[in-house]
Structure 1
């Protein structure tokens, strides 16, 4: 056990294979089994949808490399939160962590859990839509099981990630090979005039990117657990390049396969595209794709939990969340209070959530904060070039991704302004209002101290110290 007196450190247990599995495993979740029909229906043509998927991969790669430099300049867990704290200041960092813990991560986990549940129940409701209550109950079970796993052991959570990674890779390889066979048999009619009917409106392109980038979400997973990564200065950029190249190639091939087997109209109307593909290509073995897609979403949900608990943990350590959330289990060295808190919020979002709006509002909020984080990297490059940085990217990279982030935030509003985007913006800004009385002036400290002591004894946790 690494330690300093009575304080605990999270252990460096994640190597390069675990690191690649965490990035690719979190990225390849429910998205590639659900988003293709939404990208296609929004952008309007097969050719344009493939272009969107390729550009999404490029944005994820450039973003990941920029984050790799940030992760080596500021070698602490917590990703955007810790980078904003060190560059933009406490108020902006608190606005992020408030939005992240209350909306972004629970919304992301809930969206993935709902996809997992849809695929679990799909074989039992072959001809009809499954009851919504049943889907939500299965999703809740998935959330609770993974919360327990992540509280018990870092190693067990990592093993689940590696195993589900293998399953989802096999499923995607089957889809790719099935598509290749169909192409060789001459099924190319869906690619004729492939750009016909493209929607080139700013809003359509923005929403198509939201849906595509939902499938790539997770490219920054490793930055949430930098302190648990072995040799981060080498493994962080290497894992980013390997994982995102692998995922982008797979996504493009999978989309080609979908379009080879199904007409664009069939693809757009399918609610579980992998199952529709499986039924057309594998016949009576179509249920296999349902199982594989469910396991894939399960792995993605696991990665989301693993990294999400860490942000809560780091924010509490910096004094932006109650102290109890910065504690780790005395024997297992997992940040269990932060994980339990994240789970409870996810279950609340699940009770009231709806998959479609979750993706758009999650993406809108996420890209606001990605933009602020990249501005921080540009600031550090210009103002603090003397800081040690074992890994460097050219300044053009963060500038390009920042331009993409600005476009992604503004695009859906320019063509089709919706009042919901205003509500989301106001919610983000409300973090600043909460910060002043409760964080800066520390209102009601006595009550919080008593609660912390009780929870500390109940959960068997102790304050954890960051690795220096």
Structure 2
């Protein structure tokens, strides 16, 4: 009796793929990062400009990736694109960074965010299980975070149909909830003068720093200083908009991938960009831009000093009173759990593609009876859980920010390389606005990287160290393969 041959099944349509793009992008960032950005630029006008630039950069990158996705509609996505343009070492360094930090680090951080907001309803989750001095503690929240990762990995190991159903349910739930938040936020906010006040002197930028003694320092920003600070703080909104490329990892399971992947990238990034800009306008309609850290109400704290940077919760408090905290906590629980559904589903496919090339653990290249790379999913799960235990996922994500942007630029420059190397290759979709839009993305992202090198030298350097550590590991894999 012959053995059943297992292969990836193309069972995901355009709506499924779009829900993975949008669902993977929307996590907890949109409810938090605006506070930090407000402190950095101090201006409603420049704040909206930053979110608009973020959306345009994300959409232009997604439209550029569409060409590569049409050329290479196979599992692994960005890993495969980089390998075809630059060779195996570059693609391994990308895969190494994705495994050690980017994918697993995001999964861990999102899982802990889910646990943090679950603790609003169940305070016992805050209890410590282990404690080592003041530097480390292990709490029930970390246990819940790991349980959520284990659960999602188990569900996704039972077939792509299970994963896509869960993804669709949670994506539509959080899109509905976000549109409701925006609609009611604007409805309530526009009945006051808060929005008009925030847009008075809307281009006067300043950086506000909370000092260790509780006082605040304000520095006016103009010219090069303003551009530098904007280039550094935009990383907050960029990473709230990240993970859109995850849909390319599962190209081997998408129907008509040459059409549906480019379309899903455009639709998903456009939907999220619109939501994010409208959400920030709703915040500005409900809360003053400026505030004080010791304010006695959410209005006195303002967007800048929302408690624990939870500007979404502060906005909900204005609309609904104290119950707003619970409503927002529930929304973020849905948002983060749904976000991780897509991240877990997609992440295993890149490690599957790496294993097929001999650049990851051999077992990760196997498909189970449900035609999914179960062992690759569990490798991802184990490392994400380790990061939850370590409590260092947030630091690792910061270190990887710079490296991640470099890989985006590298991948999009690959379009230029492949146009020259393979002029006759099939391209069912060509990058929108080529060569200007891809070149503009590379130029703008390079400026952001320069700003990060100047304003956040330590973290950008550590990001490069993480990438560089992959070089000896690559040669270990190559030697083992030989």
Q: Same fold (TM over 0.5)?
A: yes
Q: What is the aligned partner in structure 2 of residue 403 from structure 1?
A: 443
Q: Call closer, same or farther: CA 1:273–1:120 in 2, change over 3 Å.
A: farther
Shift in Å at residue 234 of structure 1?
A: 1.5
Within 2, Cα distance between the matches of 1:404 and 1:134? 42
Shift in Å at residue 201 of structure 1?
A: 4.2
Aligned with residue 143 of structure 2, among 137, 141, 162: 137
Q: What is the aligned partner in structure 2 of residue 466 from structure 1?
A: none
Q: What is the aligned partner in structure 1 of residue 254 from structure 2?
A: 229
Q: What is the aligned partner in structure 2 of residue 192 from structure 1?
A: 200
- Aligned Cα root-mean-square deviation (Å): 2.2
Q: What is the aligned partner in structure 2 of residue 422 from structure 1?
A: 461
Are residue 322 (structure 1) and residue 361 (structure 2) matched?
yes
Q: Call closer, same or farther: CA 1:125–1:5 in 2, change over 3 Å.
A: closer
1:175-194 per-position Cα deviation (integer Å, ceiling 9, x unaligned): 21122213431332222222
Q: What is the aligned partner in structure 2 of residue 96 from structure 1?
A: 94
Q: What is the aligned partner in structure 1 of residue 314 from structure 2?
A: 276
Q: What is the aligned partner in structure 1 of residue 414 from structure 2?
A: 376
Find the residue that maps to 2:367 and give its secondary structure. Answer: strand
Shift in Å at residue 279 of structure 1?
A: 2.0
Structure 1 gaps, min length 5: 446-468
Aligned with residue 383 of structure 2, among 342, 345, 365: 345
Within 1, Cα distance between the matches of 2:35 and 2:426? 45
Find the residue that maps to 1:328 and give its secondary structure. Answer: coil
Shift in Å at residue 224 of structure 1?
A: 0.8
1:4-40 per-position Cα deviation (integer Å, ceiling 9, x unaligned): 9754211111101111111011111222122222222
Q: What is the aligned partner in structure 1 of residue 350 from structure 2?
A: 311
Within 2, Cα distance between the matches of 1:225 and 1:355? 25
Are the equivalent residues in 2 in contact too, given 1:50–1:252 (CA < 8 A)?
yes
Q: What is the aligned partner in structure 2 of residue 288 from structure 1?
A: 327
Compare 345-354 and 300-309 and name the one that shifted more. Answer: 345-354
Q: Call closer, same or farther: CA 1:205–1:33 in 2, change over 3 Å.
A: same
Q: What is the aligned partner in structure 2 of residue 451 from structure 1?
A: none
Are the equivalent residues in 2 in contact too, given 1:25–1:300 (CA < 8 A)?
yes
Within 2, Cα distance between the matches of 1:202 and 1:351? 38
Q: What is the aligned partner in structure 2 of residue 460 from structure 1?
A: none
Q: Call closer, same or farther: CA 1:194–1:360 in 2, change over 3 Å.
A: farther
Shift in Å at residue 439 of structure 1?
A: 2.4
Shift in Å at residue 359 of structure 1?
A: 4.3
Aligned with residue 267 of structure 1, among 294, 303, 306: 303
Compare 402-411 and 236-245 and name the one that shifted more. Answer: 402-411
Shift in Å at residue 294 of structure 1?
A: 0.6
1:365-413 per-position Cα deviation (integer Å, ceiling 9, x unaligned): 2111111111211101233221110000222222122223322322211
Compare 8-17 and 34-43 and name the one that shifted more. Answer: 34-43
Compare 163-172 and 33-42 and name the one that shifted more. Answer: 33-42
Shift in Å at residue 356 of structure 1?
A: 5.1
Q: What is the aligned partner in structure 2 of residue 257 from structure 1?
A: 282
Shift in Å at residue 430 of structure 1?
A: 2.2
Within 1, Cα distance between the matches of 2:336 and 2:358? 33
TM-score (norm 2): 0.85
Q: What is the aligned partner in structure 2 of residue 459 from structure 1?
A: none
Are the equivalent residues in 1 in contact too, given 2:46–2:205 (CA < 8 A)?
no
Within 2, Cα distance between the matches of 1:233 and 1:54? 28
Within 2, Cα distance between the matches of 1:195 and 1:170? 33
Are the equivalent residues in 1 in contact too, given 2:400–2:466 (CA < 8 A)?
no
Aligned with residue 241 of structure 2, among 216, 219, 223: 216
Within 1, Cα distance between the matches of 2:8 and 2:54? 33
TM-score (norm 1): 0.88
Q: What is the aligned partner in structure 2 of residue 207 from structure 1?
A: 232
Shift in Å at residue 309 of structure 1?
A: 0.7
Shift in Å at residue 357 of structure 1?
A: 3.3
Q: Call closer, same or farther: CA 1:349–1:9 in 2, change over 3 Å.
A: same
Compare 18-27 and 236-245 and name the one that shifted more. Answer: 236-245
Q: Call closer, same or farther: CA 1:354–1:282 in 2, change over 3 Å.
A: farther
Shift in Å at residue 76 of structure 1?
A: 1.5
Shift in Å at residue 130 of structure 1?
A: 7.9
Are the equivalent residues in 2 in contact too, given 1:274–1:293 (CA < 8 A)?
no
Are the equivalent residues in 2 in contact too, given 1:114–1:355 (CA < 8 A)?
no
Shift in Å at residue 125 of structure 1?
A: 5.3
Q: What is the aligned partner in structure 1 of residue 8 from structure 2?
A: 10
Are the equivalent residues in 1 in contact too, given 2:205–2:226 (CA < 8 A)?
no
Q: Call closer, same or farther: CA 1:382–1:424 in 2, change over 3 Å.
A: same
Are residue 440 (structure 1) and residue 478 (structure 2) matched?
yes
Within 1, Cα distance between the matches of 2:268 and 2:226? 32
Aligned residues: 437
